[in-house]
Structure 1
Amino acid sequence: MTGPTPTLDDERDLGTRFHDLMEVVVRWLPIGLSRVVAPSFLGFALINGFTFGVDLLLLTLFRSGLGLPVPLAFTIAYVLAFGLSFVLNRALNFRSHAPVGPQAGLYAVAITINYLAFILGVGSALTEFGLQYHLSRIVAGACEAAFMYSVMRWVIFRDAKN
């Protein structure tokens, strides 16, 4: 026996519940951080922390498991993880209801810039300089986090009321 099919309202409720939880957690942040950390930033950090873990898991599978070259392994893992990030951030964190097509186009431009600058640029360069590929991906990830949050909040999902 299966339950009722989820509706669009159920998805919106899930996004609202996620945002409400982020607001509660932000209020509990120490040393005045609650005045400077937006709930959408905390949501972004949680969602993208999760998808970054997915990225590293896939990277390990593609590089160590399948033996793909580092740039190819970075690329495939990156595209899959960032697709998941887009869906989760749109639905849960930014709760955007704008047409998905233009947002997906802007997101594609943002991740292309991010990919070239941070993933291939920083990540591959650090690997070439001898840093272990997981560590180089983590350093590149720190750079991309600041860029992607800014682009998602103020460009891609600017319709959201955060």
Structure 2
Amino acid sequence: MTGNTVADKDFGQRFHALMEVVVRRLPFGLAKVVAPSFLGFALINGFTFAVDLLLLTAFRSGLGLPVPLAFTVAYVLAFGLSFVLNRALNFRSHAPVGPQAGLYAVAILINYLAFILGVGSALTAIGVQYLVSRVVAGACEAAFMYSVMRWIIFRDTKQGYCR
């Protein structure tokens, strides 16, 4: 799903339209401060985070991999899926994928070192259960990754959509 086929563009446009409808209906004046791209990011990354946790559980509890290795493999797979879905559906980017993938790789490396291994492994090391550690690390990485995706990686998107 690259966002280059007619079907992908139609699905991306429908996803965008749905995010706009939902944002317009947010209570308490939130429609003025929540961008449709933020809602789209939250939905896509909520889904890919669930994939990450399922993979982490399979690799750690199922296969018995060490925590850092289980975090790493699950993280890389889930973030690959996040990149594809956010590029095609949420930010609907049409810029060359190569430079974006390179920027994304740098962003996830920084994110991985700071939040996944840093926060996640540190919390596990002090006795916090590994899934709880991953959820806490996930909250930190969400703010970082949305900012990087919106203003650096997918900066070619229309301003009207990303606000």
| Normalised-by-shorter TM-score class | over 0.9
Structure 1 gaps of 5+ residues are 1-6
- 1:21: how far off? 0.1
Aligned partner of 1:63 in structure 2 is 60
Q: What's the secondary structure of 2:41's corresponding residue?
A: helix
| 2:30 maps to 1:33 | yes
TM-score normalised according to structure 2 size:
0.95
Q: Distance in 2 between matches of 1:54 and 1:10?
A: 25
Q: What's the secondary structure of 2:157's corresponding residue?
A: coil
Aligned partner of 2:143 in structure 1 is 146
Quick one: percent identity of the two aligned structures? 83
**Which of 100, 104, 107 is matched with 1:107 structurally?**
104
Aligned partner of 1:3 in structure 2 is none
Letter in 1 for 2:115: F
- 1:91: how far off? 0.1
Superposed CA offset, 1:27-77 (max 9, x none) = 111100000000000000000000000000000000000000000000000
| 2:87 maps to 1:90 | yes
> Number of aligned pairs?
156
Q: Distance in 1 between matches of 2:92 and 2:141?
A: 22
Letter in 2 for 1:28: R
TM-score normalised according to structure 1 size:
0.95
Structure 2 gaps of 5+ residues are none
- 1:153: how far off? 0.2
Q: What's the secondary structure of 1:98's corresponding residue?
A: coil
Aligned partner of 1:4 in structure 2 is none
More relative contact order, 1 or 2 (CA 8 Å, 6+ apart): 2
User: What is the RMSD of the two structures over their aligned residues, measured on CA atoms?
Assistant: 0.7
**Which of 107, 132, 135 is matched with 1:135 structurally?**
132
Q: Distance in 2 between matches of 1:48 and 1:23?
A: 18
Aligned partner of 2:12 in structure 1 is 15
Q: Distance in 2 between matches of 1:73 and 1:153?
A: 28
**Which of 137, 153, 158 is matched with 2:155 structurally?**
158
| 2:123 maps to 1:119 | no
Aligned partner of 1:45 in structure 2 is 42
Runs of 4+, deviation exceeding 4 Å: none
